[in-house]
Structure 1
């Protein structure tokens, strides 16, 4: 991920993404295939189609050619720390341990308090994703106007298996 800063605007360029999945092995796939069958295997971060023809000859075809082949969707939060994650919890009477005798509230009248979890809510302010009809993926976000100062940008990437990864980078915007 590479931030681009112009005056009081910022954009993010997705420059790389890598996975190291392994699912099954090519040797197992080759051994288990019957004639005229094929199987998809993920081996050391590459998707490989293993096929056996009618004569029993095995072939391999690498389906992932570029790092962008792994990405299904990616999005940017241009000010990640602007929205704290707050949850409501039942107030614990003073002198009582959080672990001893905690019971969920029985009525609406019981006292609740709002507590910050220590995390922030990812707000999807820009996104690029693939569809079945349009396989193109934009690798540069739009420039977003932001308040000057230090801020954290968050980028979330969802791979073709639905696993998501988030990266956070601190930038200075509009400061000399």
Structure 2
């Protein structure tokens, strides 16, 4: 039910299209891995609930499963990467996709993104407190030049009232030559009380996406 395939020695789970991957989902994947004698797994997702990442990996590790979280590129990202190709993606044979197109589309391991959330009346403050990329050859080349791992953020954007479908860019901060660091804090005031979902989208210096969904209650 929760294992959708395998790649090599790893079980594969693909998260829902219109909802974030949750810890409950991860727990069920780990249980099925144990029941089917898998000790390694990939979980692919478009979006991730706020508590998923290190908690998920720790849970899996305690149960003897090596878990890797992988970001699925959005349709718009794939289209932008394949500009110049005259394609109807759903009609292309699998062997052509694997041979010709996958070299342009990256499925990167999800970065560790920690965001501190504070509310004061109708105002919410978000602060990026940590950002860690999975080890890669690209990262190794520049690691000694990076003093604060948050410097690896090229751009981040926020949808302050995310409805679970389209991401609306309502705030953003990006690096420029004069200031090669993004702002690590963002504020927003809500007009009405209630519970809100906030989606944060971070693009690192290698062009990879990390998305996180947060929940806040405004009184």
Query: If the length of structure 2 is used for normalisation, what is the TM-score?
Result: 0.44
Task: Point out the structure with the larger helix share.
Answer: 2
Give the 3 Å change call, closer, same or farther, for CA 171–65 of structure 1 in structure 2.
same
User: Who is 2:133 aligned against?
Assistant: 19
1:65 pairs with 2:122: no
1:167 pairs with 2:219: no
- The answer to whether the 8 Å contact 2:157/2:172 transfers is yes
Q: CA deviation at 1:157?
A: 0.6
Of 31, 42, 56, the residue aligned with 2:139 is 42
Q: CA deviation at 1:164?
A: 1.1
> Which structure is larger by alpha-carbon Rg, 1 or 2?
1
- Corresponding residue SS for 2:155: strand
Q: CA deviation at 1:16?
A: 1.2
1:91-112 deviation digits (Å, cap 9, x = unpaired): xxxxxxxxxxxxxxxxxxxxxx
Task: Figure out how many residues of one structure are paired with residues of the other and give that number.
Answer: 105
1:9 pairs with 2:9: no
Q: CA deviation at 1:150?
A: 1.1
Query: If the length of structure 1 is used for normalisation, what is the TM-score?
Result: 0.54
Distance 2:191 2:116 in 1: 17
Runs (4+) of structure 1 exceeding 2 A deviation are: 142-147
- Corresponding residue SS for 2:185: coil
- Corresponding residue SS for 1:17: strand
- The answer to whether the 8 Å contact 2:151/2:181 transfers is no
User: Who is 2:168 aligned against?
Assistant: 123
Task: Point out the structure with the larger strand share.
Answer: 1
1:144-168 deviation digits (Å, cap 9, x = unpaired): 3242111111111100011111100
Q: CA deviation at 1:143?
A: 2.7
Of 174, 177, 188, the residue aligned with 1:132 is 177
Q: CA RMSD in A?
A: 1.7
Of 156, 161, 164, the residue aligned with 1:79 is 161
Distance 2:197 2:123 in 1: 13
Distance 1:42 1:73 in 2: 17
